[in-house]
Homo-oligomer: A and B are copies of this chain.
Amino acid sequence: MLRAGIFGMQQDGAPEESEGKKCAWKGHKARMQMRLDKREEYVMSEWKQLWLQYHPVADQGFGAYAGTVVLDGFVNTPVINSLKEEAARGLKGMLGTEPVFADQAEGACIRIRRVDAVASAKAEEELSENQKTESYRILVTPEEIRIEAAGEKGALYGTFALLRAIGTGKALQEAETETVPSNPLRMLNHWDNMTNDIERGYSGDSFFFKDGTVIVDERTKDYARLVSSVGINAVVINNVNVKGDATDLITDRYFDKLAAMSEIFAAYGVSLYLSLNFASPIEIGGLDNCDPLNEEVIAWWKGKIAEVFGRIPNFGGFLVKADSEGRPGPFTYGRTQADGANMLADLVKPYGGTIIWRCFVYNCTQDWRDYKTDRARSGYDNFKAMDGDYHDNVILQIKNGPMDFQIREPIHPLMGGLRKTNQMLEVQIAQEYTGHQIDVCYLMPMFKEVLEYHTYCTNHPEENDRQKEGAGDQVKDIVSGRTFGNQKSGMAGMAAVANTGNDANWTGNDLAAANLYGFGRLSFDTELSSEEIAREWAQLTFDTDKEAIDVIVRILMGSRATYEKYTSPLGIGWMVTPGFHYGCSVDGYEYSRWGTYHRADHLGIGVDRSSHGTGYAQQYYPENAEQYEDPARCPENLLLFFHHIPYTWKLSSGQSLIQYIYDSHFEGYEEAEGMAKAFEGLKGRIPEDSFENISGRFRLQLDNAREWRDQVNSYFYRKSGIPDEKGRPIY
């Protein structure tokens, strides 16, 4: 373990900046020195503490309460012990106070109090058990700051919320809140392999696995603290593509380690899940098939599941990727996806377990010559017909769009399309197609768009569906379970493919931690704005002046739009290097088997997914379908996803399509340059290692953006023969 001051940056003197900035810097430095004088240097581990580093803050009045923490109605359990440890750590780090934990207080105190319910009785009735015990209320009186919760997880979340309020410099009264988690399940899906690497991992190797073993160490706990602090309550630690040793995770070889890990997680309110190999009965059971309706197979699973839940405390259940991209599944035996999911679900039910079944099933050996088959259609085509056939403890996990985590896709039509089946949203914070954690791309603006999308599902009730009266039709209403009554059972929520690895900074680019933080916060409270989240994260992460925080927030907030501008235009997606998925290759996936085409010719570009084309647009409810169907009404940022459009087509701005391609790519690069330049102004104002990390990434991003700009522009100029109106260099 390395010991290093986080304020090492102070050694480097004032940054070379304008006079105004220098003054701001000097003031900040002076304040910081004062605080440092008051107490010991903060101690860091080998890996960063990110937003839990609890750097010193100017006390807004919280210090007066922080001497005593009263536990009122809670006894010492692992979760309460975590709460106490975190409170002590946070209050000491930020305010320099070492609180006493007591049953009662002499003066002002922080009181953690058990109550019957946080939300109103009517609201409570709709909530899952998870949500009821995870809600909290914070009240501030002259005598106490009171955190009320009906369960210990709510108390822990309330404590994190109070620490966050202190860390973000809130005034006392601003700490008051009544918070019910928006979603019952808030998950991370790690794609970690037991061969150390992480599929689509851009921040080092796995910290869950090493050389075929499961790792349980201090980092396991810091991981649990980090994800718990933002409200994550379930994690899948292994890749959905389950191969090799990972198939054995459900055998005696790994149970002890997994049990130890699960206990650490549980102390932070997090349930451990595993990804499952559907072919386990063959690969480790010695059977000759894995047909989900075969009695022998069912018997094998029954024994295996009893073993898993028996050996791993607090075990949540399984995530399954079946019949997809070469993975085995029920289709092999002429069975349905429901047959596969229900078989497992019935077996885990006695243990309160859940089966999360991915909807990412498509033909990945498509012929590019075939203009009728459409990968975008496949999720709906494969899952809509069996809506209602899935058992109560199955959740279908649906990606935000119908393709695969592109920078711009329409919302998946299964969202709201499924009306009688538990469903859950899957997003990706690993930036597989959005910059590889090299290019900055803060994804909360995208996720907010997804959550706030109107599906119009409530306008079209079906017989026997479970639509709630007055329910919303936005994605956030659906995936939280509020629209179709799945909330109460807890079989609803949001999952993100995680972006962590064993890099010291966890996420490759220091700025990419905003996506980890953000996903947790947003899944806990879908009403938060992207900017609020970005600002919280920046404030908790960087001990710097307000102006610097503003710069970071501006960079984050603009980053997704910038990335979209310099990459593939208007929703068409792909155009990336095959396999690796980073960097430009306009035709990289054009003549492939992956169903990922832009169909550009000398006259135009785009895929006709209207009813004249693949018919995909008709998978939406009419209100949306009609828009998508018509190029004149289609949202322009999705124009090329839904239509093949001539380069000369006039956009609403008056630009031709080709000119838009040129302009947006030049703009995108300029914006990236602008971000990089703005960031340079932070030299000396944030820790040197962060500064070096992020500015190094910006250098790579600029190279990347330049390649995208020039390759995309040259490609379309060479194809269309139409020159840039502004005569800028195109090759």
**Chain A residues near B (Cβ < 8 Å):** 368-369, 371, 584-587, 591, 600-603, 707, 710-711, 714-715, 717-721, 729, 731
Contact = CB atoms under 8 A, between A and B. Distances in A.
A710 B592 CA distance: 12
Contact of A591 (B369, B371, B585, B721): B585
B602 A711 contact: no
A718 B585 contact: no
A619 B717 CA distance: 32
A316 to B, nearest CB: 40
Contacts of A587: 585-587, 715
7 contacts: A369-B729, A584-B591, A591-B707, A591-B711, A600-B718, A601-B718, A602-B721
Contact of A719 (B371, B719, B729, B731): B719
Candidate in A591, A714, A721 with the most chain B CB atoms within 10 angstroms: A591
Contacts of A721: 601-603
A731 B369 contact: yes
A715 B729 CA distance: 24
A543 to B, nearest CB: 40
Nearest to A711: B591
A411 to B, nearest CB: 30
A608 to B, nearest CB: 14
B720 A602 contact: yes
Q: Which of A368, A369, A720 has the most CB of B within 10 A?
A: A369
Contacts of A368: 731
A721 B604 CA distance: 11
Nearest to A368: B731
A410 to B, nearest CB: 25
Contacts of A720: 602
Nearest to A605: B718
A729 B368 CA distance: 13
A516 to B, nearest CB: 32
A715 B719 CA distance: 10
Nearest to A718: B601
Contacts of A714: 369, 591
B601 A710 contact: no
A717 B729 CA distance: 26
3 cross-chain pairs, A with B, having the tightest CB-CB distances, nearest first: A601-B718, A602-B721, A369-B731
A368 B57 CA distance: 51
Contact of A369 (B603, B710, B718): B710
Contacts of A711: 591
Nearest to A712: B591
B602 A718 contact: yes
A317 to B, nearest CB: 40
A367 to B, nearest CB: 9
Contacts of A602: 602, 718-721
A718 B715 CA distance: 12
Nearest to A706: B369
Nearest to A601: B718
Contacts of A710: 369, 591
A670 B721 CA distance: 33
Contacts of A586: 587
Contact of A718 (B584, B717, B719, B731): B719
A602 B368 CA distance: 22
A711 B591 CA distance: 7
A369 B584 CA distance: 15
Given A591-B710, A601-B721, A719-B719, 12 more contacts: A369-B710, A369-B714, A369-B729, A369-B731, A584-B591, A585-B591, A600-B718, A601-B717, A601-B718, A601-B719, A602-B719, A603-B721
Contacts of A731: 368-369, 371
Nearest to A370: B731
